[in-house]
Amino acid sequence: MTKAADSAPPRPRNSTKTKARILEAAQNAFSTRGYRDVGIRDISAAAEVNQNLITRYFGGKASLFREALASILKLDDLLIEDRADFGNRQANILRENHATTMNSGAMLALSIGDPQARAISSEKWNHQLVDVIADWLDGPDAKARARLISMLSMGFTVVQLLTAEESEESREEQIFIDQWLAETLQKIVDMPEGSATGTLPSSSDKISGKVA
């Protein structure tokens, strides 16, 4: 005799939650071990899913890396209309969203050793960070300022990653660093048009000794 439970249809898989779990496992793996040393098997074990499911949802490892990186490089909470508070907003995001920013910085940094992952990281860096910030800034030198913001933010993140095991900063040091970061980022946003590219010394000036 067949039990009612045996005849009941299987519970549908929640694909959205499963994909999110896979992406989180991939981000953790790629940000701690690097692209080269991580396989689909490692990620499937961490996410507790079948390897075939990862292939069906994301394709190969490169496609999974691309989507995992894209999903963590989010600027939704940063590029709001109030530009006067951009520096404080970004400094707070970098400090408070510690796990997210650390993972994104580590994924980018650890991808350098693999040509395929490096190409993906370069694409995402330019199109999902620099280009988006440049569109928000607008102006003839928006791209240069966007690169400065991205470089400074990622540099801060990588240093935090490198020094994570060291003793924590004193309260005074933390305040100083956060304030400097916020003020510097804000200065980049507030630069007059043309100042980011129009005041750079030329190579001839450097050679002739006009630049100190």
pLDDT in tens, 178-212: 999 999 999 999 998 666 665 544 545 545 555 44
- How far is the CA of 191 from the CAs of 26, 48, 139, 146, 202, in angstroms? 38, 49, 11, 11, 20
- pTM for the model stands at 0.77
- How far is the CA of 65 from the CAs of 22, 107, 110, in angstroms? 11, 9, 12
| pLDDT surpassing 50 at residue 54 | yes
pLDDT average, residue stretch 85-104: 82
Residue 24: partners with Cβ closer than 8 Å, 6 or more residues away: 47
